[in-house]
Amino acid sequence: MKASNDHGEKETLVLLPQDAHHRTLKIAVAMALIRAKPSGVSAGDYARKLAEDMHSSDGKILERCKSLENDILHLRQKVALISIRGGIRPEPPAFRRILPETCPEGLSDSAERISQHWTFLENYLSITSNIALLGQSDNDAESEELLLCSVDNLLRTIREGAPLGHVEMDLCKKALLALAKLCDNRRCNARQSLHAAAMNFITESVHDIVVWKEPFNYTQLENLTSCVAALASGQALVLHTTTLLTDKLLQFASHINTLQEDQRGLEADYFDRTFYLLQCTETVVESLKQISHLDCCKLSDTAKTLMEFSIKCQETQPLFANYLYEVVTKLNSSLDACNKSKQQVKRYV
């Protein structure tokens, strides 16, 4: 049905109930609200108050559902580890491992979840490695699905729980180091999926490091820097992470050069924002160990460009220039070590 005003300028669409039953229900609800409302409160205000209470209740229910999902996931992890161990033929006692208690008293909910995932990843890595050493295969699709689910939950917990305290970050680093080892483990059938999940987390974290959001939370930036460094400790992730970080530095250099060409003033804030990016890059490049000759050449070219930019900024931004110089120096040292390692391998061959 359409209703028009006297001037016929506009027509307003009026939505009516589709049937008499629907109209009856609406009238019944309206009458119930009118009768139940406290004195001195309009029916409209009372209806809005009820809607807010229902929304709050829904939030509590969702929070409880998440808690139950985490509990179920934790139980599945325990059952999966027991199941995998049960499939191993009798082996020497050295291969047996007792699952440790993971949740000391007093931990926050985030710390408990991170601790649970860390324990699961460590044990999964240990047990599946033992299976490989014993010459047995592990093609359990269900355990791989659980592994991916656990990693997804871990990474989501870290991002949603930020900023994290010292205890949480200590557990977080251990969990991410275990994930990095799994990404390096060629026997892990879920390796590619784990690599994709880890790189997605790294990409989002680096973006947050580069694009600060106000109000600035320095603890969160330190958390992200530590998380990226922990994941990049594995050789499967370090090259991609190094390239991502150095590309961000190249983009920054290009941006600054453009501003200078336009003769626009450069505020110190431009350079202050790069501190955590430089800190993250400095830590990550030290993990570079095994990369191809082509990748070495590309990173060498990048290092040369960044070194030139460092020299260019020496007079106007000495603190930034010196830090960038140190980072590039460490990058070159890692690249030199990679080249020397390859030359030694060729000699042995």
CA 20, 22, 26, 28: dihedral to nearest 10 degrees?
Answer: 70
Give the three-class secondary structure for 332: helix
pLDDT at position 127 is: 80
Q: Residue 128's pLDDT is what? A: 75
* The pLDDT value given to residue 204: 95
Q: How far, in Å, CA of 168 to CA of 223, rounded? A: 10
User: Cα separation of 261 and 196, whole Å?
Assistant: 39
Q: Is 229 helix (H, G, I), strand (E, B) or coil?
A: helix
The whole-angstrom separation of Cα 274 and Cα 293 is 29
CB-based contacts of 240: which residues, under 8 Å, 6+ apart?
199, 202
Q: How far apart are CA 213 and CA 196, in angstroms?
A: 26
* pLDDT value, residue 102: 45
pLDDT in tens, the chain (349 residues): 445 455 544 444 444 555 666 677 677 667 776 667 777 777 777 777 777 777 666 566 677 677 777 778 878 888 877 776 654 433 333 333 333 444 455 677 888 889 999 999 998 888 877 765 545 555 567 788 889 999 999 999 998 877 788 888 999 999 999 999 999 988 888 899 999 999 999 999 999 999 877 677 888 889 999 999 999 999 999 999 999 999 999 999 998 888 777 766 666 677 877 999 999 999 999 999 888 889 999 999 999 999 999 999 998 889 999 999 999 999 999 999 888 876 665 554 4
Question: Which residues on neighbouring strands pair with residue 12, listed in sequence order?
Answer: 3
Burial of 160 (0-12, 13-18, 19+ CB in 10 A): exposed
Other CB atoms within a 10 A radius of the CB of residue 6 amount to: 5
